[in-house]
Amino acid sequence: MKAIVCNSYGPTSQLQIKEVEMPSPKPNEVLIKVHFSAINDYDWSMVTGIPGLYRLLFGLFKPKRPIPGMELSGVVTSCGEAVTLLKAGDEVYGDISYYGFGTFAEYIAINEKAVVKKPEFLSFEDAAALSHAGNLAWQGLVDLGKIENNMDVLINGAGGGVGSIGLQIAKTYNCHVTGVDTGEKLKNMLEMGFDHIIDYKKEDFTKSNKTYDLILDAKTTRAPKAYIKVLNPKGRYVTVGGNIGRLIQILPARKLFKKPVFMVGLDANKDLEKIHDLYKSGKIKPVVDGPYPLEKTPWAIQHFGEGKHTGKIVISI
């Protein structure tokens, strides 16, 4: 089968598409023919080895798993003897990162619990774009953010996958949503439906007099104190990822300032049933950058790393 292979940390240009051996499912695994995958932070870090702290997860000197990728949509082709939740022919999708990586390939063998059944009304392309970003946005805004009707919400890093889905979730609560990003994304964000946009290269929202009921942060480049200053008295701040050094400061800041600042500890695939309902009703539709063929995965990961994408970068296998 064909797969994108990463044998060492370095620039995305060192990635290669190769013929590799087809995996065989273990007793509790299913073999999935991958239709689509998507690009995430983990893919950038697994290829480049940056930030270095992530090497504790991926391998100190080189990736332990040579095939990147953590999201998929596809069809089960065979099952291990202990599999009980799925069967051959089932259409599935999900964020598989709890159980492994390797979705930039034509087939993958993975624990049956790593994926969920894909409803018929959800396309394979949209499914690949929803599982990770959709859960981050939901758990950030709803579970930890406690979003309510008519809130004033700000999303930092708003032009990517989490931001575009977060906007749509917030709009189901009739919120006024400000998006922070830069470049060509700003025009796209207005078309998505953001009520107000801020170009972070021209304006620092943390130094503004404007305050917010809820901040969802997909970048986290500042110290928690900076975000706390632009929260309303009962406002909440939730980060879903970003600079490792800043993320480490979240828990101490919560205790020090006694403010509701949180970091999403992602529960993969937990809220997909809720996402299904919103998708079916037309209230959520992922913004897809692509899809691009498997051969363009090295370019797509670089495109992601440079922050030039809008919405979710999807790869067609």
Q: Supply the pLDDT for residue 249.
A: 85
Side-chain-facing half-sphere of 222: CA atoms under 13 Å: 16
Share of the chain above pLDDT 90, in %: 90
Residue type (1 letter), 168: Q
Residues 6 or more apart whose CB falls under 8 angstroms from that of 289 comprise 303, 309, 310, 311, 312, 313, 314
Mean pLDDT of 54-74: 93
What's the CA gap between 293 and 58, in Å, rounded? Answer: 25
All domains of the chain in start order, with CATH: 2-118+287-316 (3.90.180.10), 133-263 (3.40.50.720)
Mean pLDDT of 15-28: 97
In the chain, DSSP finds a helix count (H) and a strand count (E) of 10, 15
Q: How many CB atoms lie within 10 A of CB 46?
A: 26
Residue type (1 letter), 161: G
pLDDT confidence tier of residue 102, bands split at 50, 70 and 90: very high
Q: Supply the pLDDT for residue 73.
A: 98
Q: Which of 171-175, 178-182, 248-252 has the lowest mean pLDDT?
A: 248-252
Q: Supply the pLDDT for residue 125.
A: 98
Residues 6 or more apart whose CB falls under 8 angstroms from that of 245 comprise none
Question: How long a stretch of residues is the chain?
Answer: 317
Radius of gyration, alpha carbons of the chain: 19
What's the CA gap between 210 and 307, in Å, rounded? Answer: 26
3-class SS at 26? coil
What's the CA gap between 96 and 20, in Å, rounded? Answer: 20
Q: Supply the pLDDT for residue 135.
A: 96
Q: Supply the pLDDT for residue 154.
A: 98
Maximum CA pair distance of the chain?
Answer: 61
Q: Supply the pLDDT for residue 181.
A: 97
Is the per-residue pLDDT at 216 higher than 90?
yes
Q: Which two tokens stand for residue 234?
A: 């009962």
The label of the residue with tokens 């670089």 reads 302
Average pLDDT over the chain, rounded to an integer: 95
Q: Supply the pLDDT for residue 8.
A: 95
Is the per-residue pLDDT at 94 higher than 90?
yes
pLDDT digits (tens, 9 = 90+) for 256-314: 777 899 999 999 999 999 999 999 999 999 999 999 999 999 999 999 999 999 999 99
